[in-house]
Chains A and B, each alone.
Chain A
Amino acid sequence: MLELRSVTKRFGDVDAVREVSLSVPDGAFLVLLGPSGCGKTTLLRMLAGLEMPSAGQIVFDGQVVSDGDRAWAVDPARRNSGLVFQSYALWPHMTVRGNVEWPLKVAGMARPEREARVAEVLRMLGIDGLARRFPNEISGGQQQRVAIARTIAPRPGVLLFDEPLSNLDAKLRVEMRTELMRLHRATGATTVYVTHDQIEAMTMASHVAVMRAGRVEQFGTPLDLVERPETAFVATFVGTPPGNLVPVRRNGTGWVVGGRHMPLEPPADGAQALFRAETLRLEGAEGPRTLPLELAEVSTIAGRVMVTAIAPDLRLTAVTEALPAARVGETVHIGLPETPAAWFAPTGERIG
């Protein structure tokens, strides 16, 4: 079990991580998901033991490994964890083999055992042909594999990844995603994986913590996040395409969305309605629940069509069966369903 108890990290007067509490069982694949600068790397570095929490505890298997309140921590090397850096941090003066072997050497593993393990990991990641090359002689994707091989070779119980795929091109990213999941099944190590890409989170995670400005906005399974977003931020951050958030305001006669009166019953003034893309329709003509918007983007995805239309302060994405008749720049009518999937208060929390 991996547990965080009110973990907080301050750099001077910047609160990089605030009061994060969560726990995942052994073998879980926890993804920390959030936009850049929300404190993901900082949290991961605290897990690795490279940073001391300013407050709170980190617990691996019932044993405290970092205690910010008492300002002590177990040495990074003794936490049974391994970290893959975003930059890979391969030692440029060592060969691929050297990079993978050195940590084992430091750990005092005997030579025959060490060589067997190095060969095994290199094979596992499909880089056994590159053993004698230096890091600057192999491609980015191969460097990535070396970094992973180096980290898993000592068989850590907790594997930490910092945006491992962000430096790869799109195709390679998809391949590596599968590879990493295979590796996770093969090693059984509890994995903490940092990313800003919600697709990675949704496809790989057993648990996701959505972070924003140092806080965990929501913690749950990928399905939880999509079906029951707890905050407006989560609702617009996850899902493909993410949900549409529409502010609903009261004027003299009723409720207004994007300049038109709508037969809606929001729980509060200024509330925001969540409409999923698949529930929006493309209407041929104006109706009681339609909004006239300017067509901005059209793209086909797996036989369906993703349509984005905009108004000065509104942006809606719908997934429909057929291509719109209108062209980009022309007006389309987007039909809203009778009830939204959820309501959020102006401050972001869910109210219905």
Chain B
Amino acid sequence: MVNDVVVIAEHAGGALTDTTFELLGKARQLADDWGGQAIAVLVGDAALATQLGAAGLVVTVDGPGFVEYTSDSYLDAVMAAIGDRAPRLVMLSTTTAGLDLAGAMSVRWDAPLVSSVVAVVAEGDAVVATSQIYGGKIMAECVITADRALVAVIAGSFPSGAGHRDGAPDVEALVPSAQGAARVVFRSRAEPAAGDVDITAVDVLVAVGRGIGSKDDIELVQEFAEAIGAPVAASRPVVDAGWLPKTRQVGKSGLKVKPRAYIMFGISGAPEHLEGMRDAELIIACNTDAKAPIFDVAHYGTTVDLFDLLPELTEKAGG
């Protein structure tokens, strides 16, 4: 068994993602504990390797087939990069690519996988990974004693600072072997349409979640938002239900916002939502479930029913 820790690097728009550095910082620490090295696997855009100074080795796979991410060809590429290296642990993020690749790798590489991970430690030879499941309400501490393991980590679980280091890692460029016809082919990309308001550019946001129950009642939230001069943002289910446009969605697959105040009604605080708003200066949450995970992140909270609270708020804000 080799005690190396591999990070599957990700990039978008010509830059490495934050989560890549979060993983890399952690990978170095674990590799140090085990006496191995941190290895970054970079598929496509091999020029970015110079920014992965925190790794001891960067394995690049690049070429015409890797300009755009696709699950099939990237899976072949990361499997080739791992080859017979036999690392102790491979780390990915729970991004779109991470969701595609982690499960697939666990089958191809025959390694146990822990998903939605927020903490990883080395305990002797074992990997102990803590997963946040049931919408953030339960933590599960998992022990993997096999000689290999995979973790898919929730964004923001580790600081990215330790992953940003100057250095001149060895770079090994892997020439991908001729592949058969790709089963998944990239056609085009669409950026989200701009909305009527830019929710990333305002001081105060009023956010509404599934707790509102119906499209008609969105009006209650709108009235309060209007009274304080703020736009209405939403969690994903509200957007998927067609109650508010996609341009109002906050979170992992929506927008990242950092307003001076984020006032939220009927949002549970799932990790995918928190990813988009946890850095707001002031977070006030209204949720009837006193155990809702949002109360671990909010600065102020109330369990008053939103249907009772909103009319009071609108009245007081107007007065």
A in complex with B: no
Residues of chain B at the chain A interface (Cβ within 8 Å): none
